[in-house]
Amino acid sequence: MNRIKRFVSQLLKDLFNDEDKKELIEILTTSLEEKVDDLVEQGTPVDEAIDKSINEFGDAKDVLEAFPDKASLKTGIIRKRRNQLLFATFGYLLIGGLAIFLNLTFINFLDGFKWFVIVLIGVFFWPLSMLYLYLMAKK
């Protein structure tokens, strides 16, 4: 039944604050397990029952349907993603700046090779992935 718990936690990952979430995870998990039990009782193999239950369950959007003030929840996710994006950009500039500074002032090995470029490209995945998550949330 661990698959069910994992599925539910993944489903609610970015929604709700922790207090509401605990209760919701509990209820969703229990109800899914009840369904699996019922299906197994009717003769379905366990794995198949779990697959069926998870497939028929619905997604995060369906969970939000239940909350009339879901607009504010969505705003919450967008705000969170934007903060992550800002943090990532800030961190990127900080690390990049430090690399450039060290490269040009102190550590000039590799015959003047501008190794800070590698750092800049390497760390770029961070703001980039956050930008992606932000745009996904906004959509």
Partner 1 sequence: MISSDVIRGHIDTIILKLLLEKDMYGYELANEIKQRTQNKFDIREATLYAVVQRLEARELISSYMGEKSLGRKRRYYRITSLGKAYYREMIEEWRLLREIMAAMLGSDIS
Please name which of 130, 132, 98, 127 lies closest in space to residue 115, comparing C-alpha atoms.
98
Is residue 132 close enough to count as binding partner 1 by CB under 8 A?
no
Shortest reach from residue 86's CB to partner 1, in Å: 31
Query: Shortest Cβ distance from residue 32 to partner 1 (Å)?
Result: 8
CB of 17 to partner 1, least distance (A): 13
15 DSSP assignment: S
Contact range with partner 1 by CB under 8 A, out of 24-32, 76-84, 89-97, 127-135: 24-32
Give residues with Cβ within 8 angstroms of 134, minimum separation 6: 78, 81, 82, 84, 85
Tokens standing for 47?
């794995």
Please check whether residue 3 is in contact with residue 51, taking contact to mean a CB–CB distance below 8 angstroms: no
> Does 11 participate in binding partner 1 (rule CB under 8 A)?
yes
The owner of tokens 């718990």 is 5
CB of 33 to partner 1, least distance (A): 7
| Closest to partner 1 by CB, 31 or 89 | 31
Q: Tell me how many residues contact partner 1 (CB under 8 A).
A: 26
Q: Does 28 bind partner 1 (CB under 8 A)?
A: yes
Side-chain-facing half-sphere of 40: CA atoms under 13 Å: 12
Amino acid type, 97: G
Largest CA distance in the chain: 74
The residue ranges that bind partner 1 (CB under 8 A) are 11, 20, 23-24, 27-28, 30-35, 37-38, 56-60, 62-68
